[in-house]
Structure 1
Amino acid sequence: MYSNPVKFLVLKSIRIYQATVSKVQGDVCNFIPSCSHYGYEAIRKYDLFKGILMASDRVQRCHGFALFYSPDYYGVREDSIRGTKAFDPVK
């Protein structure tokens, strides 16, 4: 499946997190897609190092004040359950 076993392990760890902790914690991310989904896609699309850096940057930006500066840098989407969220896809 993946030529890099470490990349496979990291991606599998994210999926386990999404299936367990994320389900209990609920929808608390201020971004669309969620930070774990963003991290998974970044690591899958780019190499492991760049994907981890991108995911780390994203998690550091996901806090209560994210929506104050996000309209300047990201699109804003309305979520039917949680209201306004910043839109920051993996490019």
Structure 2
Amino acid sequence: MVKGLALAAIRKYQRGGGSLKYFNLECNFEPSCSEYTYQAIDKYGLVKGVKLGWNRITRCNDPDCVKKHQDPLL
């Protein structure tokens, strides 16, 4: 149930414009940090998925990034 709410919240954030709208930034990674977190929660469950997503988000810190880094969920 909580997992489903977390996934729905991520989709709502993405549909609403994601990082460009809310933070005026574009993600440095492909897939985006929100999509990566969505996939991690879906695959590994809420606790591990959120940890993986948080670790990814903390690495997304280059506002001048020219080329997106490919970093798929494994």
Output the TM-score relative to the length of structure 2: 0.85
**Divergent runs of 4+, >4 A:** none
Q: How many percent identity over aligned positions? A: 42
Larger radius of gyration: 1
- The aligned residue for residue 8 of structure 1 is 4
Instruction: Count matched residues.
Output: 71
Separation of aligned partners in 2, 1:21 and 1:54: 22
Instruction: Give structure 2 stretches of 5+ with no counterpart.
Output: none
Give the C-alpha shift of residue 63 in structure 1: 0.7
1:34 & 1:19 partners in 2: Cα distance? 13
Structure 2 residue 15 is matched with structure 1 residue 32: no
- Higher relative contact order (Cα pairs below 8 Å, separated by 6+ residues): 2
For residues 56 and 42 of structure 1, the distance between their equivalents in structure 2, rounded to whole angstroms, comes to 10
The amino acid that maps onto 1:62 is C
**1:41 aligned residue:** 39
Does the 8 Å CA contact 2:19/2:27 hold for their aligned counterparts?
A: no
Q: d(CA) in 2 for partners of 1:64 and 1:49? A: 26
